[in-house]
Amino acid sequence: MSTQDLDPSPVGPVDVEQAEAALVERYPRLVRIAYLVLPPSMGRNRRVLTAHALVQRALPRRRTGGPPVPEPRRPEDAVDPGYAYVRTEVLRQALVACLPLRRLALPRRAQLPPLLPQVWGLRLFPRAGGAEELALDQLLSDLSGPARAAYVLRGLERQGDPEVLRVLAAAGAPDPRAALAELTARERAEASAGASGAADGPRRSGAALLESAEFDPCVLQARPGDLLRRRQHGRAALVGVAALLVCGALLGLPGDGWGRDGAAAPSYARNPAAEAALDPAKVRRVNPAVWPGATRRDFSVWPARGGLAGDAKLLRRALAVWARPGGAVESSATPGTPVGPPMGPPQLLFAGLVDGARVVLLHDGLRIVRYAEPVDGTAGAALDFARTDAAEGPEAAAVVVSRAAGNVRYLTAPWVTAASVRDLLMPRKAAWPLGRDADGVTDAMPSPALAKECARWNALEVRGGERDLLLSDLGELTPARLLWGSPAAPAEATDPAAREVWGRTACQLSTVLGQGVRSVRAWRFARQSLPEGAGRAAWVCTRAETWRGTGARVLVQFLSPDPRAGAAQAARSETAPACGPREPRVVAGALWQAPGGGWYVLAAGGPDVASLEVTGGVTARAEGGVLAARAEPGARAELSALLEDGRRMPALK
């Protein structure tokens, strides 16, 4: 046999209509051919659906090519060219479906379960046959896919071997001769087995068996599938759909999903007021022309400044992180500051690039909120809260906009005309100018709140209107206002006397870092001549007031005659009203050693103290507001004062 004999029979061009007519007319036979060629290992239900799918997909999309004048047909050639074409396509796909799936190769369409037709809830299979049909099915399962196709062509289509070889070659069989040889060897073995069992009775021919109801996928029986498994799969599908709906709802909440909100956590509920507060288009912006004519000078009249004030995406991320900071956001708040979302659209104070970060400052009437993120992304975003209720004038003069490398930058109020730096530990040294840009952001200055040692204490001095203000960074968004004088008449700590006292007491400010301090006032409430002619000392009461109104800290410090010596702490309290608006009086004492070696109990009180008295390890009494009594080293005594109104006042401890 020559190689030309393996070429498919030339049938000429085939129109789509011609192929469709052949497919519809011979549909049951084509489905039977596909069913017989498909591997029995598929199972009868999948073989039935796959056979129907292969036949329905065999219809060409357009006119197929071929020789315009067909060659003379051989006697065994198919009569109808359309049927010959469709049959070849069915065999081609069935042989592909017989191929095993490989791990590294993409599966072909015929190897996958069919999309159509589909039957839900039922299992379909042909009617059961007898022992002969069972034996034939076993024979087909032992043959390869091309050998099964050869058996079907020879037995069902009644083709001779030359035509079988040509059809297999046209269907893409890798080795038609080998398939035919495999089939011939198998038939001889079956014939030998049949001859030995001829006494059992007559047997039907292979063609008759192939046309039996056992192998007819168009006449089917129906049975239910695995009902328990279906119920389990139904429950799993419901759970999956519910999870998808929840995820879809989360993605549809304000912010259009997690991506646009940067480092914010997912949102969980819809609320019209919350949505308005988180809308960057509704953020309040004050016109720069408002503050000069305003009756109040507070944060509410600060104009929106910064080169990124118009960046809606940045504002959206800042508002979203404010409302629901994610786990990776570094968040901080001064004591007593609520950290929840804004009640309404906040006011924008600043948005711009500072020290390699995008910074946004917002104000909601109660708090200043600072959002910062790196320029190259949102990882490492930071969120800081500080309480600023009822801030006005000096308390609204500056806000910390950046901390980096031990330095701090401030955003100053629009009414600030000049800024400078003053080292409190060097009271006689003049302040040096501090530059500011067009938005009011100062140059970087060393921050005492970030220093490890109290070698210097740089304070911000600003000119606001007709007076100068002294502000100190205590590790919060708003610097603390430094004051001087009695509780009845506090003043700015800018005159020489105030600077001299603050020069010796400034290092004590480290005890109130990060405590939500609003202002710190130092008051030299008494002077005292020391025994043994040691000079004249001073007593200073320092009171730190907080934004929340509670938790004020009081320090009583003893200043020796040596101007180079720091203050010695004599008493401390976090709850006492002493040295404050409610109780402006204060009494304190300390054990002191004179330069000559002698030990004394020293005590002092405010202007309203009529007399001082110590009892216990030392007994002494003195008229007026100061007392000095001889004592032993380590002596302990109780100190009290008699006020001019006759009341007894204990000492601050």
**Residues 420-444: what's their mean pLDDT?**
96
Is residue 239 assigned to a domain? no
Q: What is the pLDDT of residues 283-320, one digit of tens each?
A: 999 999 999 999 889 999 999 999 999 999 999 999 99
181/65 same-domain check: yes
Number of domains in the chain: 3
DSSP letter, residue 293: G
Is residue 66 assigned to a domain? yes
DSSP letter, residue 24: H
With cut-offs at 50, 70 and 90, classify the pLDDT of residue 108: confident
Q: pLDDT at residue 620 above 90?
A: yes
The three-class DSSP label of residue 87 is helix
Residues 6+ apart with CB under 8 A from 229: none
User: Which is more confident, 278 or 648?
Assistant: 648
509/423 same-domain check: no
Q: What is the mean pLDDT of the chain?
A: 85
Is residue 79 assigned to a domain? yes
- DSSP letter string, 452-511: SS-S--EEEEEEETTEEEEEE--SSSSPEEEEES-TTS-EETTSHHHHHHHHHHGGGGGG
Q: pLDDT at residue 253 above 90?
A: no
641/567 same-domain check: yes
Cα–Cα distance measured from residue 623 to residue 612, given in angstroms and rounded to the nearest whole number: 6
Q: pLDDT at residue 203 above 60?
A: no
Q: Where are the alpha helices (DSSP H) in 284-381?
A: 312-323
Q: What are the structure tokens assigned to 457, written together?
A: 């204490």
User: Which is more confident, 2 or 323?
Assistant: 323
70/195 same-domain check: yes
547/605 same-domain check: yes
| pLDDT value, residue 79 | 54
Tell the residue number behind the tokens 């009203």, with chain if given: 577
Q: What is the pLDDT of residues 74-97, one digit of tens each?
A: 544 445 788 888 898 889 988 888
Is residue 242 assigned to a domain? no
40/187 same-domain check: yes
Tell the residue number behind the tokens 């708040």, with chain if given: 333
| pLDDT value, residue 490 | 93
Owning domain of residue 370: 259-448
Cα–Cα distance measured from residue 320 to residue 253, given in angstroms and rounded to the nearest whole number: 11
User: Which is more confident, 433 or 241?
Assistant: 433
| pLDDT value, residue 188 | 81
Q: Do 494 and 502 touch, CB atoms closer than 8 A?
A: no
Residues 6+ apart with CB under 8 A from 585: 578, 579, 605, 606, 608, 609, 641, 643, 649
48/187 same-domain check: yes
97/202 same-domain check: yes
Q: What is the pLDDT of residues 126-156, one digit of tens each?
A: 877 777 777 777 888 888 888 888 888 888 8
Q: Do 484 and 522 touch, CB atoms closer than 8 A?
A: yes
Q: pLDDT at residue 106 above 90?
A: no
Q: pLDDT at residue 516 above 90?
A: yes
Q: What is the pLDDT of residues 583-616, one digit of tens each?
A: 889 999 999 999 999 999 999 998 889 999 999 8
CA proximity to 262, closest of 384, 378, 353, 351: 378
Residues 6+ apart with CB under 8 A from 148: 36, 37, 98, 140
Q: What is the pLDDT of residues 328-374, one digit of tens each?
A: 899 999 998 998 888 889 999 999 999 999 999 999 999 999 999 99
CA proximity to 479, closest of 495, 466, 489, 464: 464
268/172 same-domain check: no
91/217 same-domain check: yes
Q: Which long-range contacts (CB under 8 A, 24 or more apart) does 66-73 make?
A: 66/10, 66/11, 66/12, 66/13, 66/14, 67/10, 67/12, 68/12, 68/13, 69/12, 70/10, 70/11, 70/12, 71/10, 73/9
193/268 same-domain check: no
